[in-house]
Each structure stands twice: as C-alpha cells, then as structure tokens.
Amino acid sequence: MGFYRGFTAYLGEGEDIVAIYDRKSRTPFTGLVPAYLAEKLSALNGVLAGSPEAIVPCIIKGESTFLRGIIPEEFTS
C-alpha cells in the first residue's frame, strides 16, 4: 500500500494541485516531461507555485517508499 498511496498523492490527489506527467508512459515514474514546462506553467495566471520534480520508487529497510528530488527554492515557495 505504500507505493499506491505515494502514487496517488504524487498525481495530485488533493485540492488545488495539478500534476503534469507523460501520458504516453506506462506510469508517471517512467515518463519524461520537459523541464521548461514548469517555468511556463508557473507563469500562468492563478498559479501560486510550481516545482519540477523527479520521483523514484524504492525500498529502504524493507519498506516501500519514494525518493523525491526537488529544487528546494521552488518547492518551498
């Protein structure tokens, strides 16, 4: 269930959150989205913050989890 909860949370299962992913990929974790889109989307009217991310499912000490790579300045805004 750890991967499932992380998967749905990553896709934007929450109010006022939009996740952009490659619809041609088998999962959001295996797709590629050009990084320039984060900058373009952040400039749209009504967007409060945007953060490009890289996410990798993994197992640490026998527990399923995700390693999430972010740009701290963008993520915390």
**20-70 pLDDT per residue, tens:** 777 787 776 677 888 888 788 888 998 888 878 787 888 999 998 878 887
Output the pLDDT for position 61: 93
Distance between CA atoms of residues 15 and 31, nearest Å: 24
What pLDDT was estimated at residue 2? Answer: 60
How far is the C-alpha of 43 from the C-alpha of 41, rounded, in Å? 5
Q: How far apart are CA 29 and CA 10, in angstroms?
A: 10
All structural domains of the chain with their residue ranges:
2-76
The pLDDT score that the predictor gives to residue 49 is 80
Does the predicted model carry a pTM greater than 0.75? Answer: no
